Structure 1
Amino acid sequence: MNHELAAKLNSAGLKSFEDGDLTNAISLLKDSYLNWADEVGILVNLGLAFMQSGLDYKAERCYRRALKSSDIKTKRAAYKNLGFVHLWRGEWELGWRHHGKRFKGEDFEKNQWRGDALNGKPLIIWNDVGIGDAFQFVRYTKLLKQRGEKVIFAVDKSQLNIFREHLCWEIDGIVDRDSIMPLHKQSQHIPLMSLIGVVDPETTWGKEFAELTWNLPSLMQKKIGLCWESNSNDKTMFKYKSKSLNNLINDAKISEGNEREKYLSLQANEQAEHKKYNLNPPTLNWIDTLYRISTCKIVHSVDTAVAHLAAGSGIPVQLHLGDVYDWRWKGSHPHWYPSIKINQFTHLNQ
């Protein structure tokens, strides 16, 4: 076996993955594994490439082999992604069981909440996933509040003010998730994604939730909001979820007419694109983004935090998804919000 060659092929495969060339990524990662079959961590990368290509059974085989790794980080990644495969298929029990092992071996698992009676003790729900997930799944704090529980929601520090000032219901505490570490010293806590598996494993309640999440100022809604890229820091998902601004504008023209003067960017960063299309970027402040959304009659967005913020405000959202998309948008009732309509696109890189 040629370990040096395998490492180079793995790096090249990940680079192709980040560039959105899944066919080349799969080929390179396969060759990498053939040159270093004992390094099953390569299979986690290969499985993700298969999954984003819609080849879920090939992805599953990769993740199950990766579970045999002696490296705890590799096993955790394999459990997490295997869980997503099952959730993608609607195999809820298997999905949550495997996904729940993504922190396998951590001290804080000993006192993680499993759904037992809280008896008046506060429950810390900490967001272990992305910004958009907190915006979407905060609805489960309302379910717990309706049951009479005390809830503390721990989120990224960039979200503290928007949750404290604009959430439509009261929570007992909104805190910086960095402030609650170490978790093994907390009496009752649960990661946000694990909470769903405990209180709403088939996501029935969550998908039927029709209330507004955010209080908006009362402003004239004339603009057409645009958000075309996912989180650029997540290289494995960036190309998978993103769409070119040009294609997004063309789709907006079809549904809204040629109202270019009404386009409003909800996309952070991407200075070159803003300049090219004569758009003003929002500041890096979620409340500012929410105020921009409040001036929109409709928002065109890819699967990212802006879509959840807009739809949770009751603004009509055209959600642009690629051929293969996240598990939460599948099934007979995939929308999660009354105001969302789903559009699919094929060429993620164009």
Structure 2
Amino acid sequence: MNRRLKRLELLKNKSDSDIKIKEIRSLLDRKDYVKANELINEILDESPKDDQAMALSSFVSAKFGYVDFAIESLLKAIDVNPFNEYALTLLARIYAEKQDYDNAKKYYLKANKINNGNVDVYKGMANVCLSLKKDDEAYEFARAAVVHVPNNAEAHYVFADVLRQKGLLDDAGLHYEKAVELDSGSRSAMLGCAITAFSKGNFKQSVELYRKIPDYKDEPRILWNYSLALLACGEFKEGYSIYKYGFPCKTRAPNRMMSMKKPEWKGESLKGKTLLIWREQGVGDELLFSYFYKEVIRGAGKVIIECEKRLVSLFKKTFKDAEVRAQSCSVEEIKKDGDVVYKELMEDYDYHIPAMQIPGVLYDCPQQIPFNKGFLNIDENLKQKWKQRLSNLKGLKVGIMWRSGNVKRARGLEYAVVEDLKKTFSVKDVSFVNLMYSECEEEKQYIKENYGAILHEWEDLNLKDDFEDVFALIDGLDLVVSPGTTVINMAGLINKPAILFGRMYSWTFYGQKQSPIVPSIKVVLKNKWNDDNIKLDEDIANMIEKFKQEKKL
């Protein structure tokens, strides 16, 4: 009888524990971590080795920042029960967040052996592989999720994400759509559909898809991407009204914006006031949007321009009525826990504005933007120096790039590889000038050996840092060919004829085929969304030939 009572008591305790575990999970879903922790502690007080409670306790610890303690607790839970799938998956995810990808992979694989239908495991493994730049492995794990759980929306979403990052946009779109079909309330899948449409250059379709996302106005990441789609369609006012959401989702410079103690300029009179313009993106975008500085300077009491230190000299010569200084601190300068921490900034201004926000304040629509007729003050002595050097080259003088130093997946889709540019480098009576500012020795050798073309360059020119010299060099060329890089912006800003190639028009064209900021640029679009550059090569070569004929060379 005593044994039977003891067994019933154990079953009752287990049943009570299961009920509490279910309630705890519900509390965690509602992010009520304090109440959840109280119930977890009740279970652990009665059963210190309850592996489910130990794992849930670790989840709460990690949420409150006690990551090392969470890892220790999870290892203990797994020691109690090596088949605790939740503990294994959570441990793997925490290791991945710490960028300890070897341990992340180890525990994801253990979880997968227990249950090959857990989508979270496939998602985690795919993300780990992407972080390790093992795209093919990421593809296989994401694909396995669809194979094992074909009617799971999250599985199709995970696979679509990997496909999109690999540049397989048509396939990605199909799986995002399948995810939405299986779960009509999946905002992530709907966002994926909208982003994919945008990446394919279908800007109007992208805008329509964003507007279908439920409660999209509550999510900064959605609003930020939506703003780019709107601007790419020329929807100026609405696009710039939500462009600010790039800060909270950390695509723009969030810590710098948060450090600002003075109000942001939104069109107030600047008579007798000082405005600070500060950079927030890479140097290519900074140069592009410097086109709008003179218009601001004309209406302000004083303007302070904070710029990348390599641009200080050029900007001082160009914007003589403004104070120009290097940015208060570099994004690489001070970091804490992976985030930028800005040191105390100078507060010698009344208003401030991020550089890329200026057009939204100055204009109501892109048609109001005056066409650039040249505004940068390039040193005449440098221009003469490069004109003389280039005079030794025969035929059409073409500056060329095929990629930048930023080879992240999303950017890589815009680029070409030298193996696919045979017709371009084989155009007769052309002297190619190297504008690549990243390492490319093997590629230059390939071009020479296979196409017989020599890329001219000068040892005393630093293409990455000597901006005034590079501007003067570009000024002396006949034509520039490049994907969306700093170099193509430089050419366009001084009205040098240029061929921009890529998979879509930049949103900075504001829905127009010709940009008012860089009107000398002509765009050549890739024929496909992946690595098929054969048609691209033909188009670039034909445009060079046509330009050569126009120049009668």
- SS of structure 2 residue aligned to 1:264: strand
Specify the alignment match of 1:200 in structure 2: 363
Alpha-carbon distance in 2 for matches of 1:301, 1:128: 23
Tell which deviates more after alignment, 191-200 or 307-316.
307-316
Contact 2:375 2:494 in 1 (8 A): yes
Contact 2:514 2:521 in 1 (8 A): no
State the shift of 1:321 in Å: 4.2
Alpha-carbon distance in 2 for matches of 1:192, 1:317: 24
- SS of structure 1 residue aligned to 2:167: coil
Specify the alignment match of 2:505 in structure 1: 325
Match for residue 263 of structure 1 among 416, 425, 432: 432
- SS of structure 2 residue aligned to 1:121: strand
Specify the alignment match of 2:236 in structure 1: 92
Alpha-carbon distance in 2 for matches of 1:291, 1:176: 24
Gapped runs of 5+ residues in structure 2?
Answer: 1-117, 127-141, 143-156, 249-253, 331-341, 449-454, 534-553
Alpha-carbon distance in 2 for matches of 1:126, 1:209: 22
TM-superposition CA deviations, 1:58-87 (whole Å, max 9, x none): 5336545667479x8xx2221121111111
Contact 2:185 2:214 in 1 (8 A): no
State the shift of 1:280 in Å: 6.2
- SS of structure 2 residue aligned to 1:318: strand
Alpha-carbon distance in 2 for matches of 1:304, 1:340: 12
Alpha-carbon distance in 2 for matches of 1:160, 1:88: 30
Match for residue 299 of structure 1 among 447, 460, 480: 480
State the shift of 1:339 in Å: 3.2
Structure whose CA Rg is larger: 2
Say whether 1:26 aligns with 2:205.
no
Alpha-carbon distance in 2 for matches of 1:154, 1:37: 46
Say whether 1:53 aligns with 2:200.
yes
Specify the alignment match of 2:443 in structure 1: 273
Change (3 A) 1:327 1:118: same
Change (3 A) 1:209 1:292: closer
State the shift of 1:133 in Å: 1.5
Look up the equivalent residue of 2:207 and give its one-letter code. E
Specify the alignment match of 1:229 in structure 2: 403
Match for residue 112 of structure 1 among 255, 264, 275: 264
Tell which deviates more after alignment, 43-52 or 112-121.
43-52
State the shift of 1:214 in Å: 4.2
Contact 1:47 1:63 in 2 (8 A): yes
- SS of structure 1 residue aligned to 2:246: coil
State the shift of 1:227 in Å: 1.7
Match for residue 341 of structure 1 among 511, 519, 522: 522
- SS of structure 1 residue aligned to 2:196: helix
Contact 1:5 1:35 in 2 (8 A): no
Look up the equivalent residue of 2:163 and give its one-letter code. S
Contact 1:140 1:206 in 2 (8 A): no
Specify the alignment match of 2:221 in structure 1: 77
RMSD: 3.7
State the shift of 1:136 in Å: 1.3
Alpha-carbon distance in 2 for matches of 1:138, 1:97: 20
Specify the alignment match of 2:294 in structure 1: 142
Tell which deviates more after alignment, 84-93 or 338-347.
338-347
Change (3 A) 1:121 1:245: farther
- SS of structure 2 residue aligned to 1:306: helix
Matched positions, count: 340
- SS of structure 2 residue aligned to 1:3: helix
Specify the alignment match of 1:156 in structure 2: 308
Look up the equivalent residue of 2:355 and give its one-letter code. L
Specify the alignment match of 1:215 in structure 2: 378
Say whether 1:178 aligns with 2:178.
no
Change (3 A) 1:338 1:87: closer
State the shift of 1:296 in Å: 1.5
Change (3 A) 1:5 1:316: same
TM-superposition CA deviations, 1:179-228 (whole Å, max 9, x none): 67667967411112211100124234544121232405223255310022
Superposition TM-score, scaled by structure 2 size: 0.53
Alpha-carbon distance in 2 for matches of 1:36, 1:5: 19
- SS of structure 1 residue aligned to 2:271: coil
State the shift of 1:258 in Å: 1.1
State the shift of 1:155 in Å: 3.0
Look up the equivalent residue of 2:402 and give its one-letter code. W
- SS of structure 1 residue aligned to 2:272: coil
- SS of structure 1 residue aligned to 2:287: helix
Say whether 1:309 aligns with 2:490.
yes
- SS of structure 1 residue aligned to 2:201: coil
Tell which deviates more after alignment, 336-345 or 193-202.
336-345
Alpha-carbon distance in 2 for matches of 1:249, 1:210: 34
Contact 1:44 1:78 in 2 (8 A): yes
Look up the equivalent residue of 1:342 and give its one-letter code. V
Contact 1:317 1:340 in 2 (8 A): yes
Superposition TM-score, scaled by structure 1 size: 0.79
Contact 1:213 1:312 in 2 (8 A): yes
- SS of structure 1 residue aligned to 2:515: coil
Change (3 A) 1:38 1:142: same
State the shift of 1:142 in Å: 0.8
Alpha-carbon distance in 2 for matches of 1:249, 1:171: 47
